[in-house]
Amino acid sequence: MQRIGDAPAVRRGLIAVALLLAGLFLLLPLVAIFAQAFAEGVAVFWTNVSDDYTLAAIGLTLFVTVLTIPICLVFGVALAWLVTRFDFPGRRLLQTLIDIPFAVSPVVAGLVYLLLYGRNGWIGGWLDAHDIQLMFAWPGILMVTIFVTSPFVARELIPLMQAQGSREEEAAVTLGASGWTLFRRVTLPNIRWALLYGVILTNARAVGEFGAVSVVSGAIRGETMTLPLHLEQLYQDYNTVGAFASAALLALLALFTLAAKAGLEWRTARQEVSP
Amino acid sequence: MSQRAARLALPLPARTQRVLPGFGLSLGISLTFVSLVLLLPMTGLVGQLKGLSLAEYWAIVSDSRVVASYTVTIGAAAVAALANAAFGLLMAWVLVRYDFPGKRLLDALMDLPFALPTAVAGITLATLYAGNGWVGALLEPLGLQVAYTWVGIALAMAFTSIPFVVRTVQPVLEDLPPEVDEAAMTLGAGDATGFRRVLLPYLWPALVTGTGLAFVRSLGEFGAIIFIAGNAPFETEITSLMIFVKLQEYDYAGASAIASVVLAVSLALLLAINVWQGRFIRKLHGGRG
Amino acid sequence: MIRHPRLARPLLAIALGAGLAAPAMAAERELLNSSYDIARELFAAINPEFIAHWQETQGEEIAIQQSHGGSSAQARSILQGLRADVVTFNQVTDVQVLADDGLVAEDWQQALPNNASPYYSTTAFLVRKGNPKGIDGWEDLDDEGVEIVFPNPKTSGNGRYTYLAAWGFAEHQFDGDEEQIQAFMRDFLGNVVVFDTGGRGATTSFIERGIGDVLISFESEVNNIRGEYGSDDYEVIVPPVSILAEFPVAVVEENAERNGNQELARAYLEYLYAEETQRLLAGFNYRVHDEAVVEEFAEQFPETELLKVEEVFGGWDAAMETHFASGGLLDQLQRR
What is the number of alpha carbons within 13 Å of residue C318 lying toward its C-beta? Answer: 7
Per-residue pLDDT, C39 = 87
Length of chain A: 275
Per-residue pLDDT, B280 = 66
Distance CA C213, CA C179 (A): 27
Does C199 share its domain with C81? Answer: no
Q: Do C41 and A60 touch (CB under 8 A)?
A: no
In B, minimum Cα distance to A155 occurs at B2
Reported as a pLDDT band with limits 50, 70 and 90, residue C276 is very high
Mind telling me how many Å the CA of C208 is from chain B's nearest CA? 8
Number of domains in chain C: 2
Q: Which residues contact A98 (CB under 8 A, 6 or more apart)?
A: A79, A150, A151, A154, A155, B34, B38
Does C84 share its domain with C129? Answer: no
Does C85 share its domain with C131? Answer: no
B245-266 confidence digits (pLDDT tens): 787 667 888 888 998 898 888 8
The domains of chain B, with CATH numbers, are 53-285 (1.10.3720.10)
Mind telling me how many Å the CA of A185 is from chain C's nearest CA? 27
**Is residue C84 included in any domain, yes or no?**
yes
Task: Indicate whether C71 pLDDT > 90.
Answer: no
A residues 48-107 lying closer than 8 A (beta carbon) to B: 74-75, 78-79, 81-82, 85-88, 94, 96-107
Segments in chain A below pLDDT 50: 274-275
C217 vs C198 pLDDT, higher one = C217
Domain that holds residue A201: 41-273
The secondary element (H helix, E strand) that includes residue B155 is helix B150-160
Does A75 share its domain with A107? Answer: yes
Task: Indicate whether B288 pLDDT > 60.
Answer: no
CB atoms near residue A222 (< 10 Å): 23
Q: What chains are in contact with A, requiring at least 3 Cβ pairs below 8 Å?
A: B, C
Does C153 share its domain with C265? Answer: no
pTM beyond 0.90, yes or no = no
CATH number of the domain enclosing A152: 1.10.3720.10
Helix, strand, coil percent values for chain A (each to nearest 5) = 80, 0, 20
CATH number of the domain enclosing C64: 3.40.190.10
**Is residue C194 included in any domain, yes or no?**
yes
Chain C hits for A55, CB-CB cut-off 8 Å, are 5, 7
A134-152 confidence digits (pLDDT tens): 999 999 999 999 999 999 8
**Is residue C324 included in any domain, yes or no?**
yes
Does A142 share its domain with A178? Answer: yes
**Is residue C228 included in any domain, yes or no?**
yes
B149-203 confidence digits (pLDDT tens): 899 999 999 999 998 899 888 888 888 887 877 777 776 667 777 787 778 888 8
Does C184 share its domain with C317? Answer: yes
Does C319 share its domain with C287? Answer: no
Q: A23-27: long-range contacts at Cβ-Cβ below 8 A with a sequence spacing of 24 or more?
A: A24/B135, A25/B87, A25/B158, A25/B159, A25/B162, A26/B109, A26/B110, A26/B112, A26/B113, A26/B162, A27/B109
**Is residue C30 included in any domain, yes or no?**
yes
B175 at A interface, C-beta within 8 A: no
Does A2 share its domain with A63? Answer: no
Domain that holds residue C113: 8-120+246-300
Does A119 share its domain with A250? Answer: yes
3-class secondary structure, B224: helix
**Is residue C2 included in any domain, yes or no?**
no
Does A151 share its domain with A208? Answer: yes
Per-residue pLDDT, A95 = 80
Does A113 share its domain with A4? Answer: no
**Is residue C1 included in any domain, yes or no?**
no
Does A82 share its domain with A5? Answer: no
Return left, alpha or beta for A260; rule: phi > 0 is left, psi -120 to 50 is alpha, else beta: alpha
Number of domains in chain A: 2
The complex scores an ipTM of 0.82
Q: Which residues lie across from C237 on neighbouring strands?
A: C125
Does C322 share its domain with C238? Answer: yes
Per-residue pLDDT, B284 = 55
B44 at C interface, C-beta within 8 A: no
**Is residue C3 included in any domain, yes or no?**
no
Does C253 share its domain with C236? Answer: no
